[in-house]
A and B are shown apart, each in its own frame.
Chain A
Amino acid sequence: MRYAMVIDTLKCVGCSDCVVACQTENNVPIGYCRDWITETVDGTYPNIVLELKSERCNHCDNAPCVRCCPTGASHIVEGGIVLVTANECIGCGACIESCPYDARYQHPDGYVDKCTFCHHRLQKGQLPACVSVCPTKCMYFGDLDNPNSEVSQLLKNRKHKTLAPEAGTNPHVFYLI
C-alpha cells in the first residue's frame, strides 16, 4: 500500500474549495491552512500559460521532516502517510524549516500541524475531504502499489511532474500537466 494524490492542473480552476473543505473537516483554525492554491503565469499578452495547483504535504518517502524531528512526533505510518503526533511534538519548528514544500505550520495550540491525507477518513473508507469536495474533480487519490488503481493509471498514461524533485524527497503528490 502506497497512498498518492494526483492532481490534474488542466482541470483545476483554483477555487480553493479544497482549502475550506480541509479547514472544516480538520478543525484547522481560521488563518491557517493545510492545503493551498498556487498560480503561475508565464509568457506575455496574448501568449500566456496559467497553471493552477492545489498544494499540500507531499507525504515523501524520504521525508526531511521525519528525519529531523527530535522527538519522533513526525513519523510515517502505513501507506506512506507522514503524520505528527501532537502530544509528542514540542513545537521546535525544525520540521517546518526542513520541508521544501512549506507544508507545515505551527498550530496556535503549540504543536506542528499539516495535511494527513485525511487519515481518519481513509480508515473509514472515505476519500480525503479535499478530493471528495473538488467541483472540477481534478483530484484523485489511491494506492500506487496497485497498478490498476486510478492514480497508477493516470500516472502511466498522462504527462506529470512532482514539486521540487531536486530535493530528493520522493514526493507522493503528482501533478498532471
Chain B
Amino acid sequence: MTTSRRKFIKISALGVGGLATASAAYNMFGTTSFLNTFSAPNNSKALKRTATYCEVCFWKCAAWAYSDGEGHIQKIIGNDDDPHCNGRLCPRGTGGVGMYNDEDRLKTPLIRTTINGEQTFREASWDEALNVVASKLKTIKDNHGAESIALLKHGCPGWHFEHLFRAFGSDTTAEPAFAQCRGPRETAFALTFGSWVGSPEPTDIRDTKCLVLIGSHIGENMHNSQVQEMSDAIDNGATIITVDPRFSTAASKSQHWLAIKPATDIALLLSWMHVLIEEELYDKAYVEKYVYGFDELKAHVREFTPEWAYGITTIKPEEIRKTARAMAHAAPAVIVHPGRHVVWYGDDTQRERAIAILNGLLGSWGRRGGFYLKDSIAIPDFPHPEYPKPKWDWRDIGENYPLAQMGLTNEIIKASIPSENAKYPVKAWMVAGTNLIKSIPDTIQLQKALEALEFLVVVDTMPMDITGYADVILPECTYLERTDIVRSATNREPSIAVRFAAVPPKYQTKPGAWIAKEIGMRLGLEAYYQYDDFDEVVNWQLKEMGTSREEMEKIGVKKYPRQSGSLYLNEDEVHHFGTASGKIEFYSHELKDLGFDPMPKYTPHPEPPQGFYRLNYGRSPMHTFSRTSNNPNLTDLKKENDLWVNPKVARIIGLKTGQRVWLKNQDDIISTFSIKVRVTERVRWDSVYMVHGFGNDNKKLTRSYGKGIDDTQMISRVFTDPIMGGTGMRGNYVSIVTENPHKNEAI
C-alpha cells in the first residue's frame, strides 16, 4: 500500500467463496410454485415481528420487520405509534426488504492487493482485515497523530465509529449531510432564531393554512411525516405556494406556482418582505415583542419592490403581491419552509436567512401551523472514560468558515491533498455509510485526495463507488440484521424507537457496533468498550430511561412527556431565543462583525452560455441518493434517471423522448454514461433536470451499473458559502451530446 497508486477497482474480488452464494431469500419472490389458490399472499400469522427503525433513508421511521424464522424477511410495516411515519412507511421503507435481499451486497471483508501488477481485492477473514485496519491506524497515529485520521460518515454506523474515533483521539469528523445538504439552513436559523431547524423539521404542516416551498419538493423528497402532513394540509384546504423553475409534484398541488428564473430566489424573498412591510401586513405585536433589527430591515427592503424583483425573477409583480398577501392572511399559521438540500449558489446561508426573516415577519416561529418548539429526550451515554482531547479537530480544518456548525467534508478532502504549508494534514480516512463519489462535487479534487491517502477503510453494505478506492472494505450487515443505537426523535413530543436484529446477518457481514468495537479492542481502547455485546448497551440505556428491552420489543416506540414547556410560544411569558440578543435577529451583528452582510442581499449569479442549460437535480420518491439504486424492489419501480428537457429545447436540438444522450459540462467533462431524454413541459427552457444518484460505475452493482447519468460527475464547479462552507452545486451547465462520445473507447 504505497501512495499515489490507488486505482479504482471495480470490486473484482479474487476467490468466489462469498460471491457464489446466490440468495435464496431473493429468489423467494419468484417462486410461488403452488397453483392451488388465487394468490399467494404472505401469511402474517406465521411471521415473527421485530421492532426496528428504517435506514433506507435517514428519516428513521420506526417499523416492524416480519420474518419467518428461516432468515426470510417477508415485509416491513410502519409502527402506528411513531411520529416519523404514523404506521405508513414510504416506498423505500416498504422496499427495505430489498436492501437485505440484494444479492450484490458486500459479503466478506476485502483487502486490496496487487497481483502481476494488477490491483484487485482479495477476500480476507474478519480477523485479518481488522488487524490490518488497527495496525494501519496505529502506525498513522504514531507518525502523524490520531487527528490526521478522518471519519466521513452518515447514518447509524457513523455513531459507532465516531465513538471509536473520539476514544482513539480524533475528532476529525464530517458528513455530507452538513456542507453538501442542510448546513446553510442550520446556520441561518441558528443566527435568526437561535435554534437549528434540525431533522425532522419542526414544521407544523398538518395545522398550517399556508405552506410555502422554495425549491423544496416534498412528495418527491419522501421525508415521510412531511409528506403525510402536506397531505393533511391539502385536506384542510391550506394554500400551497411553490417557488420552483420546475413544475414539481408539489407545484402540481399548489394554488400558486411561481415559475422562478433559477438563482434569483433571494430577490423574490426580499420583495415579499417589502410587500409585508409596505402594506403593513406583518405581525406587528410579534415583531414588537420578539424581534431585534426590524427598523434596519424596513430600511433595507424599501427599494426591493415587486417591480424590481420582476426584472430579476420573471415573476409578475401582482403575483408577488398576491402571494405575500396569502401568506399574511394565513399568518401565523404559515410556513416558509427552510427546505433540506439547500447548497445551491454559495449565498445559501443568506437565502436561508431571508427565509428565516420572512417567517419572523409572519410571526410563524413558535406558533400553531408555523414552526412548533421541538422537544426530544437525551439517550444516556453508556459509561466510558473521558475522550482524550485532540490537538486539532474538524473545527480547525473548517476555520476559514466561521459559522460551520459541523465538520466540512470538502475541507477535510482539501486537507487530505498534500501541500507544503498544510496546517492540518489528513493522512487516512474511514468512510462509513456514505458514497462520497456520488455526494461530493468536484470529482477531480476528490480523486486527488483519494490518491494521496495513506490508508482508506470503507464500511458499507453495498459495493458503492467509494469502495473501489478502499484499501480495506468491511461489509456491514443491513439495519434489519443488527441491534443498533436507540433513536431519539426530535418532534412535537419526545419519543424513542429501537432497532433489534430481525434476522441474523447474512454472509460474513457484521453490525457497525461490532466492527467498531473490534477495531477499538485492537487499538487498546478496552476502557471504552466495557461490554460484550452492543445489546448490553441498549438494554442498559432502556432501563435508564424507565423502560426495558421486553417492553420495547413489544411496542417499538415509546413516548415521553415534553420536557421543555409548551409546544408553541406562550404569549404571556418572556421567551429567550438562543441568539446573542435573546431575540429573533433580523439584523445580525454576528454576521456584520465577521465581515458578512448583516441582512441578506440579492447578488446576481452567472447564467448559462449559449448552448448550455443549467443542471438542476432532485429526488425521486423511490430512491435515497445512490444508496438504493441497486435495491431489487426499488429498481423495479425506477431503474434509471431521465433528462427532463423542455419541448422548445427538444425542438431546437432535435430530441425525442426516450432517445439516449450524453452530457458535457462547462469544464468539458463528458458523462461516462448516457441518459434517456424526457421531453416535458414541466421544466424551463433554460435548465434541464435529472434525479440524483444514478449512473453507478461499478459492474458489481448488476442492476444499476451504467444506468443513467451521475449528476455529481457533472458538478465540477462549486460555489462555496463563505459563511459556513457549504458547497453550492447549482451553478453547473451542460450541453446535450447526441452522438456517443465514447464510441472509440473501450469501457
A interface, CB within 8 angstroms of B: 10-11, 13-17, 19-21, 23-31, 33, 41, 43-46, 48-52, 83-87, 107-111, 113, 116, 118-121, 132-138
Residue in A closest to B222 when the chains form the complex, CB atoms: A15
Q: How far is it, in angstroms, between the C-alpha of A113 and the C-alpha of B635 when the chains are bound?
A: 21
B146 at the interface (CB under 8 A from A): no
A85-B38, A113-B39 known; A108 and B30 CB under 8 Å?
yes
B722 to chain A, nearest CB (A): 34
Cβ contacts under 8 Å, A110 to chain B:
35
B559 at the interface (CB under 8 A from A): no
A50 to chain B, nearest CB (A): 4
A4 to chain B, nearest CB (A): 20
Q: How far is it, in angstroms, between the C-alpha of A136 and the C-alpha of B220 when the chains are bound?
A: 12
A41-B681, A133-B89, A135-B88 known; A21 and B247 CB under 8 Å?
no
A16 adjacent to B252 (CB under 8 Å): no
B42 adjacent to A15 (CB under 8 Å): no
A127 to chain B, nearest CB (A): 11
Q: How far is it, in angstroms, between the C-alpha of A30 and the C-alpha of B634 when the chains are bound?
A: 10
Q: How far is it, in angstroms, between the C-alpha of A109 and the C-alpha of B647 when the chains are bound?
A: 43
A11 adjacent to B252 (CB under 8 Å): no
B180 at the interface (CB under 8 A from A): no
Q: How far is it, in angstroms, between the C-alpha of A50 and the C-alpha of B220 when the chains are bound?
A: 14
A114 to chain B, nearest CB (A): 9
B298 at the interface (CB under 8 A from A): no
Q: How far is it, in angstroms, between the C-alpha of A154 and the C-alpha of B85 when the chains are bound?
A: 25
A86 adjacent to B39 (CB under 8 Å): yes
B680 at the interface (CB under 8 A from A): yes
By Cβ-Cβ distance, the 9 closest A-B pairs, closest first, are A13-B219, A15-B621, A50-B252, A46-B259, A136-B231, A17-B91, A24-B75, A87-B35, A29-B30
Q: Tell which of B224, B257, B633 touches A24, judged by Cβ atoms closer than 8 Å.
A: B633
B78 adjacent to A50 (CB under 8 Å): no
Cβ contacts under 8 Å, A33 to chain B:
636
A44-B681, A133-B78, A136-B231 known; A20 and B95 CB under 8 Å?
yes
Interface size on B, residues (CB 8 A): 61
A128 to chain B, nearest CB (A): 11
B interface, CB within 8 angstroms of A: 28-30, 32-33, 35-42, 74-78, 85, 87-91, 94-95, 97, 219-220, 222, 224, 227-228, 230-232, 234-235, 247, 249, 251-253, 257, 259, 621-622, 632-634, 636-638, 646-647, 680-685
A20 adjacent to B257 (CB under 8 Å): no
Q: How far is it, in angstroms, between the C-alpha of A14 and the C-alpha of B217 when the chains are bound?
A: 13
Q: List 14 A-B contacts (CB under 8 A).
A: A11-B231, A13-B253, A14-B621, A17-B94, A20-B636, A23-B29, A23-B636, A29-B29, A30-B30, A45-B681, A45-B683, A116-B39, A119-B38, A136-B228
Q: Tell which of A24, A86, A132 touches B74, judged by Cβ atoms closer than 8 Å.
A: A24
B483 to chain A, nearest CB (A): 23
A16-B91, A41-B680, A52-B249 known; A30 and B41 CB under 8 Å?
no
A83 adjacent to B637 (CB under 8 Å): no
Q: How far is it, in angstroms, between the C-alpha of A108 and the C-alpha of B29 when the chains are bound?
A: 11
Cβ contacts under 8 Å, B621 to chain A:
13-17
Q: Tell which of A17, A48, A111 touches B682, judged by Cβ atoms closer than 8 Å.
A: A48
Q: How far is it, in angstroms, between the C-alpha of A51 and the C-alpha of B78 when the chains are bound?
A: 27
Cβ contacts under 8 Å, A21 to chain B:
75, 91, 94
A25 adjacent to B35 (CB under 8 Å): no
Q: How far is it, in angstroms, between the C-alpha of A21 and the C-alpha of B41 when the chains are bound?
A: 12
A7 to chain B, nearest CB (A): 13
B36 adjacent to A86 (CB under 8 Å): yes
Q: How far is it, in angstroms, between the C-alpha of A87 and the C-alpha of B637 when the chains are bound?
A: 29
Cβ contacts under 8 Å, B219 to chain A:
13-15, 136
Cβ contacts under 8 Å, A14 to chain B:
219, 249, 621
